[in-house]
Amino acid sequence: MVACAALDVAREPEILLRILWITAFAWMAFALPAAAKEVALDVGHSIATQGALSARGVPEFEYNLALAGEARAALERAGLGVRVIGAAGDTQDLASRPRLAKGADLFISIHHDSIKERLLQVWQPNGEPQRHNDSVSGFSLFVSRENPRFASSLACASAIGRALRAAGFVPSRYHADPVLGESREFADEPNGVHFFDRLAVLRHAAMPALLFEAGVIVNRVEELRMREPGVKRAIADALVQGVRECLN
Ligand SMILES: [Zn+2]
C-alpha cells in the first residue's frame, strides 16, 4: 500500500504535466497563423544589361534595385516572406529568374519604363547629351496567359494596380497606344494591367507572376519623383496592400 501510494503521488505531477503539454500543443496548433506567404522580388536587368537609361543617364537597374529594397522592407514589415532575385546584378539568363523563385507564392519582376528609341529627344542636363520624352508617364503591370497560374497572376496585378491608384498613382496608357506604344491589349484597363504573353520571366514561372513598371524614367519629372524616398515608400506600401489582398 505504501509503495503504491508513493507511486501515485509521484506520478500525479507527471500526468498533470503531460496534460498541460498536450493542451499547450493543441492550443498552438490552432492559435499559430499559417506559414507566412513568400514573395519573390525580381530586380529587373543586371549590371551588364542595365535596361533603360533615364533622362539623366542613370541605368534602370539602379532604380529597380532601390525600389526592390524598399518593397522588401515593406513586405517584411507586413510579416510576409521575401526572396530577392538578381540583386547582385549578375543574373542575365531570364529563364533562371523564375527558377530561382521556386516555392514562392508570387513572383514580381520590378522595372522602370522607357519609350521607343525613336521617340526620345536629346537634352543636356549636365553638359552631357541625354535622352528624354516627357509625354509618357505612369505605372504599368503585365501578365502572361502562358503562365500556368494566369487567373491568380491577373488577380494580383489588378489588386496592386488598384492599391496604387488608391495611393494617387496613375496607370500609364501609352503601351496600348499604337503610335507611342505597341497597341498592347489591356487585361484590366482601369488598373493598368496589360497582357504580355511572351514575357520570359512570366511564362517560365510556375507560380503567379507579374511584371511591374513603377514609372517612366525617361520622363524628366517622373524620374525625379521615382527618386523621392516618400514616393518609393508609397509604391512599396501599395504593393504590399495588393499582395496581401490577392494572396489571402
Ligand atoms: Zn526593364
**CA gyration radius for the chain?**
25
Cell representation of residue 156: 494580383
Alpha-carbon dihedral angle through residues 116, 117, 122, 125, given to the nearest 10 degrees: 80
- The three grid cell numbers given for residue 45, joined into one nine-digit string: 536587368
Residue 51 Cα, ligand 1 centroid: separation in angstroms?
5
Kindly tell me if the per-residue pLDDT of 129 is higher than 80: yes
What's the whole-model pTM score? 0.86
pLDDT top residue among 10 and 186: 186
Pairing outcome for strands 140-143 and 193-195:
parallel
Mean pLDDT (the chain, rounded): 90
According to DSSP, residue 164 is labeled: H
| Ligand 1 center to 225 CA (angstroms) | 18
The DSSP string of 137-156 is -SBEEEE-TTSTTHHHHHHH
Q: What is the pLDDT of residue 248?
A: 86
Report the separation in Å between the CA atom of 125 and the middle of ligand 1, taken as the mean of its atom positions.
23
Maximum Cα interatomic distance, the chain, rounded to a whole number of Å: 102
Model confidence band, residue 46 (pLDDT cutoffs 50, 70, 90): very high
Residue 27 has pLDDT above 60, yes or no: no
pLDDT digits (tens, 9 = 90+) for 2-15: 333 334 444 555 65
Query: Cα–chain-centroid distance for residue 51?
Result: 18
Q: Which pLDDT value is given to residue 20?
A: 57
Which of the pair, 66 or 248, is modelled with greater confidence?
A: 66
